[in-house]
């Protein structure tokens, strides 16, 4: 048995020592430079104020013109080529011109360039030398599945000092992603390596999922075998732990003992990041629950909202379905909005959904729910609302929890016992996402960087030993 463990660990270690070193090194980089994305603050800052004097068709007419029969959300934004409604449903989304109901697809590079320059202008980014540099379904920074509803994407280099590039959706004309030269450079030695994320592989999600899951599992087995072997080889001399090995083997043994707990939990939790429903639930609504939450409303209710004035400083207006009714929220700032329900009178305008309104929806989802509570920032299962400062309502329905955004009515989390366990097995172990450390970011940073550095040194001893064995 021990001979089999030695041989298995030796050759799995030789095969994966470089991968281990890469994961620890890139983990340090990722702590400081995450994968590029367009934050909600950046997206909202790039929106122009709505033209309140422009002639617009009704929301109900926009939904009808889109052909999306299961539409549950409609947003009104001001593009540089006019106001557009963006109609969204489970079956897809489409941009409709607010003036005449025609399709507002972005077909030409020239239009995409103007839209990108307008977005940059709102964010005070110099785009006087902007140019189109790509038009494709995928590139290295747009491979995540979240962009599927916007492909193909126009990539526009703004020509500013930071080397910013933005991506324009050909379906809605929105800016959906931005990157800077610094982000791109660091991510080549960060996320791209860490997640094994080359475009050719990642663009095929199913293949990428199987490849990375398998590699992570084999790496975990190699680490487990090493831990068993390391403990079995412990020697005690004069009351102190020592190693029967010499040179690099002794360093590998002793550093491995010191780093064993971290290495095992980090590799294990990293493997779980690729779980995707294999061992734990995915936290998704069941078809029955989705049928309740995502039920299309009677959009003929929406015109009653049109009689309510929109704030002159509004940058985005969204109509959404919630519990069978149509609501409208006008966003005047990142953390400020005015919410009203179809049929309400003007004095009923408020900022967010009430706990009572959300309770009526959860009672239709599942019986036996407790009174709602607002999720605190330091909650063990914390979650962020769409708008800063908006409440997130948590409903505990026996073993099933629902977290609902008070700003726009979305179900942010569905937490069953399996999903709550996954939160600790993955997030807590892999990113140290626990309240006490999140409240002390410098301590968390020291732990993450220090332990990854220890893992890197340990991996380097394995590389030296493996190279010598191969020679």
Contact 419, 280 (CB under 8 A): yes
Rounded to whole angstroms, the Cα distance separating 5 from 36 reads 41
Residue 348, pLDDT score: 67
| Eight-class DSSP state of 192 | H
Contact 197, 215 (CB under 8 A): no
Other CB atoms within 10 A of residue 316 CB? 20
Contact 130, 165 (CB under 8 A): no
Contact 267, 223 (CB under 8 A): yes
pTM: 0.93
Residue 346, pLDDT score: 63
Residue 406, pLDDT score: 96
Rounded to whole angstroms, the Cα distance separating 284 from 386 reads 18
Q: Which residues of the chain have pLDDT under 70?
A: 345-348
Residue 245, pLDDT score: 94
* Alpha-carbon Rg for the chain in angstroms: 26
Token reading at 49:
């104020």
Residue among 321, 211, 268 nearest 430 (CA): 268
User: Would you call 108 helix, strand, or coil by DSSP?
Assistant: coil
Cβ contacts of 276 within 8 Å, gap of 6 or more: 209, 213, 282
Residue among 158, 159, 177 nearest 168 (CA): 177
Q: Which residues pair with 330 in a beta bridge?
A: 317, 338
Give the CA angle between residues 176, 181, 185 to the nearest 5°: 110
Q: Which residues pair with 136 in a beta bridge?
A: 153
pLDDT in tens, 330-388: 999 999 999 999 877 666 678 999 999 998 898 888 888 888 899 998 899 989 998 88
């Amino acid at each position: 048995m021990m001979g089999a463990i030695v041989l298995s660990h030796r050759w799995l270690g030789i095969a994966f020592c470089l991968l281990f070193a890469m994961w620890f090194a890139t983990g340090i980089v990722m702590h400081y430079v995450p994968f590029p994305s367009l934050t909600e603050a950046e997206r909202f800052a790039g929106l122009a104020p709505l033209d309140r004097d422009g002639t617009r068709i009704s929301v109900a007419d926009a939904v009808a013109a889109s052909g999306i029969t299961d539409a549950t959300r409609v947003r009104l934004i001001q593009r540089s080529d006019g106001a557009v409604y963006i109609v969204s449903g489970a079956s897809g989304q489409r941009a409709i011109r607010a003036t005449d109901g025609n399709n507002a697809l972005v077909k030409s590079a020239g239009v995409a360039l103007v839209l990108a320059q307008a977005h940059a202008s709102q964010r005070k980014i110099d785009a006087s030398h902007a140019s189109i540099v790509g038009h494709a379904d995928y590139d290295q920074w747009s491979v995540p599945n979240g962009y599927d509803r916007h492909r193909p994407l126009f990539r526009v280099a703004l020509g500013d000092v930071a080397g910013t590039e933005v991506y324009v959706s050909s379906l809605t004309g929105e800016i959906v992603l931005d990157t800077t030269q610094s982000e791109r450079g660091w991510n080549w030695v960060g996320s791209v390596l860490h997640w094994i994320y080359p475009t050719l592989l990642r663009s095929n999600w199913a293949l990428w999922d199987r490849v990375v899951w398998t590699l992570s599992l084999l790496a975990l087995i190699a680490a487990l075998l090493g831990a068993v072997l390391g403990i079995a080889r412990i020697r005690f001399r004069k009351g102190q732990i020592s190693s029967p090995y010499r040179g690099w083997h002794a360093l590998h043994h002793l550093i491995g003992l010191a780093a064993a707990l971290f290495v095992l939990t980090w590799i294990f939790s990293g493997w779980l990041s690729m779980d995707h429903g294999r061992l734990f639930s995915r936290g998704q609504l069941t078809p029955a629950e989705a049928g309740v939450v995502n039920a299309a409303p009677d959009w003929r209710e929406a015109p009653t909202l049109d009689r309510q004035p929109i704030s002159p400083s509004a940058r985005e207006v969204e109509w959404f379905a919630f519990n069978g009714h149509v609501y409208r929220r006008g966003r005047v700032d990142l953390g400020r909005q005015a919410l009203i329900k179809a049929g309400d009178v003007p004095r009923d305008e408020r900022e967010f959904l009430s706990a009572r309104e959300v309770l009526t929806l959860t009672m239709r989802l599942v019986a036996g729910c407790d009174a709602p509570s607002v999720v605190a920032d330091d909650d063990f299962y914390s979650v962020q609302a769409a708008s800063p400062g908006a409440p997130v309502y948590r409903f505990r329905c026996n073993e099933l929890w629902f977290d609902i955004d008070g700003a726009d009515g979305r179900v942010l989390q569905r937490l069953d016992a399996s999903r709550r366990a996954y939160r600790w097995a993955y997030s807590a172990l892999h990113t140290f996402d626990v309240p006490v450390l999140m409240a002390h970011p410098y301590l968390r940073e020291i732990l993450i960087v220090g332990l990854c550095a220890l893992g890197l040194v340990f991996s380097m001893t394995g590389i030296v030993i493996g190279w010598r064995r191969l020679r």
